[in-house]
Amino acid sequence: MPNLADVDLADLDRFTAGFPFEVFDVLRREAPVWWHPPTAHTPGGEGFWVLSRHADIVAAAADSETFSSETGGGRDGGGTTLEDMPRGFAVGALLNMMDDPRHAQFRRLLAPTTSPRALRAIETDLRRRAIDIVDAALAKGECDFLVDVAAELPLQAVAELAGVPQEDRHELMNWANVTLDYEEREIGQTSDRVAAAQAQMFVYGTTLLERKRREPPTEDLLSIVTHALIDGEPLSENEQRMFLSLIIAAGSETTRNSIALGMSALSREPEVWERIRRDRTLLPSAVEEMLRWASSTPYNRRTATRDVDLHGHRIRAGDKVTLWWASANRDDAVFADPYAFDVSRNPNPHVAFGRGTHFCLGAALARMEMRVIFDVLLDRVAGVTVTGPVEYVRSNKHSGVRHMPVTLVGRS
């Protein structure tokens, strides 16, 4: 059993074998509101609060006036990561680091692109793409499921929806991967590789967005943000560039990890695979269980805007407060037998997409992508064997998978 005195959630090496659920089992039971002291790894030499129970996390996420995605308490920076991001560059400009009312205004611009009607219009195209992806992986037999299957459909879909040329999608994903992975750095640090990726992304984004501004408006996301007005004013160039970075990373990264880790769980239970294949009415609940199981975004940070008492602890204005979604998704006060992978789990009030005003805008799209790719896999694949260890990215912010070697056996 972990000793809390030895726990350092800013030590990224603790996350290289996946999320440390055992630490949060102790936290939920013994210290549901825990002050994480400063360590050698905490950015800025600051400690932070850790919320680990489902009920507390949902309540904090719903109270955006108290727990800000921007900043609070006179803090110079803020945002949703442990390290303070600068105001103006990311904080207040990046959609997920923006509070209402501007956050709500920005979301309303984008909402029609992920409406049920809009998603129905692209489902046939997604299924065609999924068939091509799965058939190509089957032709290999042995493949990297993350690269060859899990990443491809979300990446193709987000490129199409965003208005990014398909031929550029892998380069954009590579740049995003470099910035999300802490392979050779610590929280709050950068590296030559990260700086180079960010510079290339900046140049690419500037050129693409300039072209979108010149062209007549269309229905793709980048066209919308380059032509939209909020309170009669266009979005700033920085907001537009930030949105491009966000949509490429968030629109593909979290879904691919849910697909990969969901398949990893299913590969260990071939009888469940056959059960879903025979009864496709189980597929929607199986997707929800994969989302809970993977918990692709382990935490989001907020900043307290005022003093608040929670379970006998005084959280001060300006304190960093972290909401650990992955812990909430294993809370036995909410989920019966939370460490069982149960594709018929009902109800399943997971928080893989967050809660409150920042509930993931692309949740319906992610669910559809997962349902479509697994429907095709169930049609075409008789068995999946994971042939080596799942390699995770070095990050506490993303339950990211770098590689997942598998053998796929086609269905005759």
Residue 264 CB neighbour total at 10 angstroms: 23
Classified by CATH at the fold level, domain 4-410 comes out as Cytochrome p450 (1.10.630)
Position 1 scores a pLDDT of: 60
How far, in Å, are 108, 109, 212, 382 from residue 230 at the CA level? Answer: 10, 9, 18, 51
User: Directed axis angle between helix 192-214 and helix 169-180, to 10°?
Assistant: 140
Position 188 scores a pLDDT of: 86
Position 184 scores a pLDDT of: 80
d(CA 302, CA 238) in angstroms, rounded, equals 22
Contact 80, 297 (CB under 8 A): no
Residue 366 tokens read as: 């992610």
d(CA 273, CA 47) in angstroms, rounded, equals 44
How far, in Å, are 247, 267, 366 from residue 360 at the CA level? Answer: 11, 28, 10
Q: Which residues contact 101 (CB under 8 A, 6 or more apart)?
A: none
If you ran DSSP here, which 8-state letter would residue 84 be given? P
Domain boundaries, the chain: 4-410
Position 174 scores a pLDDT of: 87
pLDDT mean by block of 10 residues, the chain; 412 residues: 85 94 97 97 96 98 98 94 92 95 95 90 95 97 96 93 92 85 86 89 93 95 96 95 89 91 96 96 98 97 98 98 98 98 98 96 95 98 94 92 96 84
CB contact burial 189-199 (16+ within 10 A = b; e otherwise): eeeeebeebee
* pTM of the full structure: 0.95
Position 250 scores a pLDDT of: 82
Name residue, tokens 């692709």: 296
Q: How far is CA 35 from the centre of its chain?
A: 25
d(CA 381, CA 241) in angstroms, rounded, equals 40
Position 172 scores a pLDDT of: 86
d(CA 270, CA 385) in angstroms, rounded, equals 9
Position 337 scores a pLDDT of: 98
CB contact burial 122-153 (16+ within 10 A = b; e otherwise): beeebbebbeebbeebbeeeebbbbbbbbbbb
